[in-house]
Amino acid sequence: MRKKRKLVQPSDAEMEILNILWVHGPSTVRLVNDELNKIRPLAYTTTLKTMQVMMEKGFLRRDDKQRSHLYTPSLKENETKQALLDRFIKTTFAGSTSHLVLQALGHHQASKEELAKIRAYLDQLEEGKDDTAK
């Protein structure tokens, strides 16, 4: 039986910040804002306010021992993404992983490399099932 996850629902803007922190590690608001500005123009004060709200929600921690405060995610990347994906599959595809995969592959061009990775993963899954059946 799968362990029930606490439902974590960061907004799109919060996910952008979390992704930056997961890649860069502990970071200042300035670094996060600079990275966000590579995507679209965003005021420093907007990034600061969003990160303050994220702290209130428990999504971020702040180390204020240094002059420039460093922010780190309180949420684990894999757990957060899995919880969001589980909810998306449940609400959008009526719980069907196959419908999600078919929709994605049917509407987006996958490269040969991506298809090879998918095939290899499916082979691994099948081998694992064969091992448990023996």
Of the candidate CATH numbers 3.40.50.300, 3.40.50.720, 1.10.10.10, 1.10.150.570, the domain formed by 12-73 belongs to 1.10.10.10
Percent of the chain at pLDDT exceeding 90: 62
Q: pLDDT (tens digit, 9 = 90+) per residue, 9-66?
A: 899 999 999 999 999 999 999 999 999 999 999 999 999 999 999 999 999 999 988 8
The reported pTM is: 0.76
Exposure string of 48-81, with b = 16+ CB inside 10 Å and e = fewer, is eebbeebeeeebbeeeeeeeeebbebebeeeebb
21 or 108, which is more confident: 21
pLDDT band at 110 (very low <50, low <70, confident <90, very high): confident
